[in-house]
């Protein structure tokens, strides 16, 4: 939301408050006028009946004329008050429409994007201020209408504007207030396992998760401590049409009283100890129409606000969640969450994956980059994304921003990736993200790992560099993620030769940190006795120890992992074989 839009909405809410205060003053004036008119009218009627005090006919006529004039003023003022109320309710309706249809809707979209790694979602405090301001005005108008009713009961007349308009204004004010309150219950924090805070909306059965609900309207009369009840897949009959769709039991305390939050000053309820358990189906022969990680489920929250003069039912639903039985499905489930929230804003579309739409590469590339920028200090650059695009779209179409990527291409085993033990582009991206976050975060943040980089581009970068220049990139062959180290040497005739070491995996890093491995890595060339470390300069020209020195965790120990198990051929023969693709596989 731009500053101009915020300012415009602030001005409208302030105008609404000011108008309501002006009506309050005008009603007081109207009450005084009515009291004075009623008093003088009754006095004149009494004097006419008693014909007392020797008042002349002329005096009586003068007083009668004055009372008629006062009636005219009273009637005019009444019409003004009614018109002001109608205008205020029209303005309140306009502001409310902007709040619910635009601002609340946009906040929900921002929350969706934040859930999949996008920019952090804006605070609800601003939205709460607007909701509360409109609600206060509507409540004040409803009180003013009650005061108007009291005036009507004391005095009315034919075609009295108050009598004619009050009922309609009452209904409009009540309808607006109910609609505002109904839309003010939101899921402030989506369901998330504490063990995986950066993977909201993926829930493992049997593992506790937390979720927070908030009421955006802050009014004293609403501090009635309503109870929030949690349920799963409540009332969604379309799921019955999907064979094998699983049913779940919600475990833990599923009812919680909303309390006043000290930080926001509004009613909230935070559930921290909920968990889910799958119901065993009676008929286990049903054929699944969806993969487990494509099933979407909905957690909903309902309550009832009971006020002195009305009762309002409230319902809020979270974004669809994916329920898994084991952490091995986490990457697939996270892919489903990405796909759904990129392409769908309808929270009740639980059968989305029966026919998932494709996504434009331009949109998908942004979300893939978010996965890294949300957990590290570096997003993916255009060259890294180009490498990913090559895998998904092919060299011919990856430069087309309209290029479409289909869900099966992204989530299923791909022939474009030479991944050991099979795997999908989603797995490839996800596992390298996890490897980066868990093992080489600081090195990645320093910009020392090039990440997704094609072998063609890798060779082009190294070919003109000094011998011993090396770079680090993500492996194309390790399903569980790995770092490939590639360096350049010169043959006897001065020709550059590019070599790649076997990918360094999570298993390896658990034994020896990557910086130590780089420091201690050695190879033995044919005909030579002493091993040497071929890794001298980190691309483009940073001395190895300058780049990684602060990350070394121990003295050089010549560990087994750092020793090359292959005796390198003479440079001239190595150069020839590298040209023929012999040596480390191209998919390293």
DSSP conformation class of 118: -
- The span from the CA of 578 to the CA of 588, in Å, is 14
The predicted model scores a pTM of 0.83
Residue 189 sits in the same domain as residue 177: no
Residue 403 sits in the same domain as residue 536: yes
Evaluate whether residue 173 is within a structural domain.
yes
Q: Measure the CA dihedral 233/237/238/243, to 10°.
A: 80
DSSP conformation class of 295: -
Buried b (16+ CB within 10 A) or exposed e, 192-205: bbeebeebbbbbbb
Last residue of a domain, one of 297, 318, 351: 351
Q: Measure the CA dihedral 99/101/104/107, to 10°.
A: -130
Evaluate whether residue 242 is within a structural domain.
yes
Backbone angles phi, psi at 511, to 5 degrees: -95, -45
Residue 388 sits in the same domain as residue 325: no
How many Cβ atoms from other residues are within 10 Å of residue 224's Cβ? 13
Last residue of a domain, one of 151, 182, 213: 182
Q: What residue spans of 398-529 are helical by DSSP H?
A: 407-411, 425-439, 441-445, 455-462, 506-511, 514-520
**Residue 504, C-beta contacts closer than 8 angstroms, at least 6 positions apart:** 482, 483, 484, 485, 514, 517
Find the helix or strand (DSSP H, E) in which 338 lies.
helix 330-343
| Domain limits for position 452 | 361-579
Evaluate whether residue 513 is within a structural domain.
yes
- The span from the CA of 253 to the CA of 247, in Å, is 19
Residue 147 sits in the same domain as residue 232: no
For the chain, how far is it from start to end, CA to CA, in angstroms? Answer: 46
Smallest Cα–Cα separation from 97: which of 160, 183, 22, 173?
Answer: 183
Number of structural domains in the chain: 3
The tokens of 118 are what?
């996008």
Please say whether the dihedral angle defined by the alpha carbons of residues 533, 537, 538 and 542, taken in this order, is positive or negative.
positive
Residue 147 sits in the same domain as residue 235: no
Residue 514 sits in the same domain as residue 367: yes
CATH of the domain at 29: 1.20.1050.20
Evaluate whether residue 586 is within a structural domain.
no
How do the pLDDT tens digits run along the chain, 588 residues long?
A: 678 888 999 999 999 999 999 988 888 877 777 766 665 665 655 555 545 555 556 655 666 666 666 666 666 777 788 888 899 999 999 999 999 999 999 999 999 999 999 988 777 889 999 999 999 999 999 998 888 777 766 666 666 666 767 788 989 999 999 999 999 999 999 999 999 999 999 999 999 999 999 999 988 877 777 899 999 988 765 566 566 678 899 999 889 998 888 877 888 999 999 999 988 765 544 555 778 889 999 999 999 988 878 889 999 999 999 999 988 889 999 999 999 999 998 878 888 998 999 999 999 999 999 999 999 999 999 999 999 998 888 755 545 557 899 999 898 876 555 555 457 889 999 999 999 999 999 999 999 999 999 888 999 999 999 999 999 999 988 878 899 999 999 887 778 889 999 899 999 999 999 999 999 998 876 556 788 899 999 999 999 999 999 999 877 654 444 444 444 433 333 333 333 333 454 445
Evaluate whether residue 243 is within a structural domain.
yes
Residue 128 sits in the same domain as residue 217: no
Residue 160 sits in the same domain as residue 205: no
How many Cβ atoms from other residues are within 10 Å of residue 260's Cβ? 13
* C-alpha distances out from residue 114 to 6, 249, 452, 499, Å: 21, 28, 24, 41
Evaluate whether residue 163 is within a structural domain.
yes
Last residue of a domain, one of 133, 166, 182: 182
- The span from the CA of 382 to the CA of 379, in Å, is 10
- The span from the CA of 520 to the CA of 518, in Å, is 6
Find the helix or strand (DSSP H, E) in which 357 lies.
none
CATH of the domain at 507: 3.30.505.10
Residue 216 sits in the same domain as residue 339: yes
Residue with tokens 């009754």: 42
Evaluate whether residue 585 is within a structural domain.
no
Residue 126 sits in the same domain as residue 204: no
CATH of the domain at 325: 2.60.40.630
Q: Are 427 and 355 in contact (CB under 8 A)?
A: no
Evaluate whether residue 300 is within a structural domain.
yes
Residue 262 sits in the same domain as residue 147: no
Residue 345 sits in the same domain as residue 479: no
* C-alpha distances out from residue 72 to 33, 45, 67, 253, 487, Å: 11, 18, 9, 64, 97
């Amino acid at each position: 939301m731009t500053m101009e839009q915020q300012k415009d909405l602030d001005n409208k809410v302030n105008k609404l408050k000011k108008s309501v205060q002006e009506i309050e003053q005008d009603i007081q004036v109207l009450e005084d006028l009515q009291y004075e008119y009623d008093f003088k009218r009754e006095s004149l009627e009494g004097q006419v009946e008693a014909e007392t005090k020797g008042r002349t006919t002329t005096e009586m006529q003068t007083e009668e004329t004055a009372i008629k004039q006062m009636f005219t003023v009273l009637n005019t003022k009444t019409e003004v008050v009614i018109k002001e109320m109608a205008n205020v309710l029209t303005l309140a309706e306009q502001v409310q429409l902007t709040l619910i249809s635009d601002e609340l809707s946009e906040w929900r979209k921002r929350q969706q994007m934040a859930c999949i790694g996008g920019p952090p979602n804006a605070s609800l405090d601003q939205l709460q201020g607007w909701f509360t301001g409109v609600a206060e005005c509507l409540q004040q108008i409803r009180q003013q209408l009650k005061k108007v009713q009291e005036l009507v009961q004391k005095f009315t007349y034919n075609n009295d504007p108050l009598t004619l308009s009050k009922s309609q204004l009452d209904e409009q004010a009540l309808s607006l207030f109910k609609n505002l309150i109904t839309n003010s219950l939101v899921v402030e924090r989506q369901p998330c396992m504490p063990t995986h805070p950066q993977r909201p909306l993926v829930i493992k059965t049997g593992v506790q998760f937390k979720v927070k609900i908030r009421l955006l309207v802050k009014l004293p009369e609403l501090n009635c401590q309503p109870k929030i009840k949690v349920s799963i897949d409540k009332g969604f009959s379309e799921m019955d049409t999907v064979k094998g769709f699983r049913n779940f039991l919600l475990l833990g305390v599923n009812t919680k009283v909303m309390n006043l939050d000290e930080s926001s000053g509004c009613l909230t309820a935070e559930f921290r100890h909920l968990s889910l358990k799958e119901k065993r189906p009676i008929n286990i022969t049903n054929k699944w129409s969806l993969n487990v990680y494509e099933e979407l489920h909905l957690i909903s929250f309902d309550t009832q606000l009971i006020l002195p003069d009305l009762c309002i039912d409230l319902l809020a639903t979270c974004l669809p969640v994916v329920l898994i039985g084991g952490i091995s499905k986490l990457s697939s489930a996270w892919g489903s969450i990405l796909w759904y929230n990129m392409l769908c804003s309808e929270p009740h579309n639980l059968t989305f994956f029966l026919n998932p739409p494709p996504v434009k590469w331009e949109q998908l590339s942004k979300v893939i980059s978010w996965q890294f920028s949300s957990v590290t200090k570096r997003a993916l650059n255009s060259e890294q994304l180009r490498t990913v695009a090559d895998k998904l779209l092919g060299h011919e179409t990856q430069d087309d921003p309209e290029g479409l990527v289909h869900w099966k291409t992204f989530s299923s085993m791909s022939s474009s990736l030479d991944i050991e033990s099979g795997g999908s582009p989603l797995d490839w991206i996800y596992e390298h993200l996890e490897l980066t976050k868990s093992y080489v975060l600081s090195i990645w943040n320093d910009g020392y790992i090039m990440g997704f980089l094609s072998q063609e581009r890798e060779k082009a970068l190294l070919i003109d560099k000094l011998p011993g220049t090396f770079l680090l990139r993500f492996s194309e062959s390790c399903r569980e993620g790995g770092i490939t180290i590639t360096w350049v040497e010169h043959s006897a005739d001065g020709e550059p030769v590019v070599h790649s070491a076997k990918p360094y995996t999570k298993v390896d890093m658990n034994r020896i940190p990557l910086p130590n491995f780089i420091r201690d890595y050695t190879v033995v060339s044919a005909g030579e006795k002493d091993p040497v470390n071929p890794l001298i300069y980190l691309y483009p020209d940073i001395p190895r120890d300058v780049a990684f020195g602060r990350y070394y965790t121990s003295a050089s120990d010549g560990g087994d992992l750092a020793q090359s198990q292959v005796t390198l051929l003479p440079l001239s023969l190595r150069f020839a074989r590298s040209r023929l693709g012999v040596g480390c596989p191209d998919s390293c």
